Amino acid sequence: MPKIHNFSAGPSILPRQAMEAGSRACLDFNGTGLSLLEMSHRGKEFIGVMDQAISLVKELLGVPSGYSVVFVGGGASLQFAMVPYNLLDEGETAAYLDTGTWANKAIKEANLFGNVKVVASSKDANYNFIPKGYAIPADAKYFHCTSNNTIFGTQMQHFPESPVPVVCDMSSDIFSRPVDVSKFGLIYAGAQKNMGIAGCTMAIIKNDLLGKVKRKIPSMLDYKIHIEGESMYNTPPVFPVYLAMETLKWVKQLGGVNAMQKRNEEKAQRLYTEIDANPLFKGTCAKEDRSRMNVCFVMEKPELEDAFNKAAEAANLSGLKGHRSVGGFRASIYNALELESIDALVAVMRDFARKHG
């Protein structure tokens, strides 16, 4: 079977060894004779999985003391509501940076719980850059940002100094580069980009932020409940947590997040260099804000898009179609994508330019 080069924006490419481990675990988990899918989440076998997954998060990101790591369900979209539910009282204000679709959805949810101050937005430019030079109000309860924008292909290369706790949605670039966790009050990330498969979300929470709102919080939406229950308050998403553990083991084996950063920078540089040099293609966002995870580009001659799509499909390049709000193409180059897939895409782009340029 020919190799398929998977540029899907998510659920996305996974390390081969994580998928193979998951396949084995589905049939016989660690020689128990039982599938991971059918054994008790309260048994020592799965408790060991959860403990190792949390330990790997702490090790790879250097999580300092005073923070807790939890795995929960619901995706990052549930975190849009859980964050203000736990941190923002009625009448209080939270600051948000609007850099794309997911940031906008987070703003919508936060408006249900308190006041939202949008400190800056790139919406008028179809989110093709990351705003800079904005002020974060000192009386805000927290400042929320989205580190990487899968749809528009922008990424925060630096985080602002903030007088209030920083909350960051890192769903699409978590574990792709080093992060100083101590600079954040809360980090959350859906798993289905760099951490595993859809079905679980990881959150890193500074403990002293919790327990300060006056409202009663339903148990399933209360970070303190999940921390106290060690991510086992209810039956956790067993298989997604296991795949997250195996994916994080792979990240560690390859040298951790520093190695991932070097790997991702090389992939991004090769692809952006071709986009900038090729007469048929152009990038869609400000160069200083280009994402190293989601590379968005369009054609100088839009009428050639269908022909390029067919050329890409013929070369076994999958998942390149851009989001409908941007159009064109999007190459998602998450951690597990190999350099050979970048080279395959570049080769098709060059060949297409020779034939149609």
The pLDDT tens digits of the residues spanning 270-301 come to: 999 999 999 999 999 999 999 999 999 999 99
Known catalytic membership, residue 108: no
How many domains is the chain partitioned into structurally?
2
CATH number at residue 271: 3.90.1150.10
Give me the catalytic one of 169, 173, 222, 289: 169
Specify whether the CB–CB gap between 201 and 189 falls below 8 A.
yes
Query: Average of pLDDT values for 184-199?
Result: 97
Both 302 and 158 in one domain: the answer is no
Both 44 and 105 in one domain: the answer is yes
CATH number at residue 77: 3.40.640.10
Both 300 and 191 in one domain: the answer is no
Question: How does strand 317-318 pair with strand 5-6?
Answer: parallel
- Residue 273, domain extent: 256-356
In a domain, 10, yes or no: no
Both 96 and 170 in one domain: the answer is yes
Give me the catalytic one of 141, 173, 193, 267: 193
pLDDT recorded at residue 66? 98
Both 25 and 59 in one domain: the answer is yes
Q: Secondary structure of 275-288 in the HEC alphabet?
A: HHHCCCEEECCCHH
Tokens, residue 166: 């920083």
Contact partners, residue 204, CB within 8 Å, separation at least 6: 57, 61, 63, 67, 68, 69, 181, 184, 186, 187, 188
In a domain, 11, yes or no: no
In a domain, 225, yes or no: yes
**Which amino acid belongs to residue 272?**
Y
In a domain, 9, yes or no: no
Both 99 and 64 in one domain: the answer is yes
**Which amino acid belongs to residue 204?**
I
> What value does the mean pLDDT of the chain take?
97
Q: Is the pLDDT of residue 28 over 90?
A: yes
Specify whether the CB–CB gap between 14 and 247 falls below 8 A.
yes
Contact partners, residue 355, CB within 8 Å, separation at least 6: none
Residue at a domain's end among 193, 221, 253: 253
Intra-chain end-to-end CA distance of the chain, in Å: 32
Known catalytic membership, residue 351: no
Both 222 and 294 in one domain: the answer is no
DSSP 63: P
Both 65 and 115 in one domain: the answer is yes
Q: Is the pLDDT of residue 38 over 80?
A: yes
Return d(Cα 155, Cα 309) in angstroms, integer: 26
Both 334 and 260 in one domain: the answer is yes
Q: pTM of the full predicted structure?
A: 0.97
Both 191 and 337 in one domain: the answer is no
Known catalytic membership, residue 222: no
Tokens, residue 104: 């906008």
